[in-house]
Structure 1
Amino acid sequence: MRVYITSVFVDDQAKAKAFYTEVLGFKVKHDIPVGEYSWLSLVAADQEDGPEVLLEPAAHPAVGPYRAALKADGIPATSFAVDDVQAEFERLGSLGVEFTQEPMDAGPVMVATFDDTCGNLIQISSYKA
């Protein structure tokens, strides 16, 4: 068994697509219209056959309270691996990304958390050398 796809609920798929591709650096794998929304999945730019992140519409009534509770408690919706949390923190900060948690030591990893502008907190992490 392996990870194929995971969802991140977003308020606006077009806004999320722009943020996740232009700022975070993901690449669109699928953008297939399905009614008023799209099957919009992304992959790491250097892993076109790797796991996909589905930017899923947050229209279901259960999603709003769930995401609001996570965000209020400072809990990330998901975590993305990076090579160097400090370097990525600086790169994203220079692009205007708002961090809710600056890089911190969390045992074997460094982590930081930012607001994805689409209703979620996202954590980045890297293992320490």
Structure 2
Amino acid sequence: MKIKLSSVYVDDQEKALRFYTEVLGFAKKSDFSNGTYRWLTVTSAEDPAGTELQLALNNNPAAAAYQQAIFQQNQPAANVFTDNLKTEYESIKGRGAQFTMRPTDVQYAWIAMLKDTCGNLVQITQLKGW
């Protein structure tokens, strides 16, 4: 078995698509609608056949409550990995991202955290010695 899809709730799918593609550099994978429902996913531009991230609209009370609670607790809704956090941080910051945590040494890794403009925090991680 392998993980093929994970989801993150967003308050605006268009804004989320812009952020995840234009700021983080992911590629749009799937985008189709059925009435008011929209299935929207992105994937790594480096691994287009890899794991997809669904940008799911938080249009129900449970999704909105979950999204708000983890944001208020400073918990990331998504965690992405890089081999060079310093370079990614500077690049993403240059594209206008608002970081809530600069690159920080947390013993096993370097991490940084930023807002995705759609109600979430995203953590970027560079593992050490793995």
Per the normalisation by structure 2, the TM-score is: 0.94
Look up the match of 2:89.
89
Q: Aligned partners of 2:21 and 2:95: how far apart in 1?
A: 13
Q: In structure 1, what residue type is equivalent to 2:3?
A: V
Q: Does 1:121 align with 2:113?
A: no
Deviations 1:14-35, CA, capped at 9 Å, x for gaps: 1111111111111111101122
Q: In structure 2, what residue type is equivalent to 1:39?
A: W
Look up the match of 1:78.
78
Matched-pair identity in %: 40
Q: Aligned partners of 1:34 and 1:17: how far apart in 2?
A: 18
Q: Which moved more, 1:31-40 or 1:47-56?
A: 31-40
Q: Which structure 2 residues correspond to residues 47-62 of structure 1 after superposition, within 5 A?
A: 47-62=47-62
Q: Which structure 2 residues correspond to residues 1-129 of structure 1 after superposition, within 5 A?
A: 1-129=1-129
Deviations 1:61-109, CA, capped at 9 Å, x for gaps: 1122212111111111110011211211111111111111111111221
Q: Aligned partners of 1:13 and 1:115: how far apart in 2?
A: 15
Structure 2 unmatched runs, 5+: none
Structure 1 unmatched runs, 5+: none
Matched-pair contact (CA < 8 Å) for 2:23–2:96: no
Q: Aligned partners of 1:13 and 1:67: how far apart in 2?
A: 14
SS at structure 1 position matched to 2:15: helix
SS at structure 2 position matched to 1:62: helix
4+ residue runs over 4 A deviation? none
Q: Which moved more, 1:113-122 or 1:101-110?
A: 101-110
SS at structure 1 position matched to 2:61: coil
Q: Over aligned residue pairs, what C-alpha RMSD do you find?
A: 1.1
Q: Aligned partners of 1:95 and 1:121: how far apart in 2?
A: 17
Matched-pair contact (CA < 8 Å) for 2:112–2:123: yes
Q: By how many angstroms is 1:12 displaced? A: 0.8
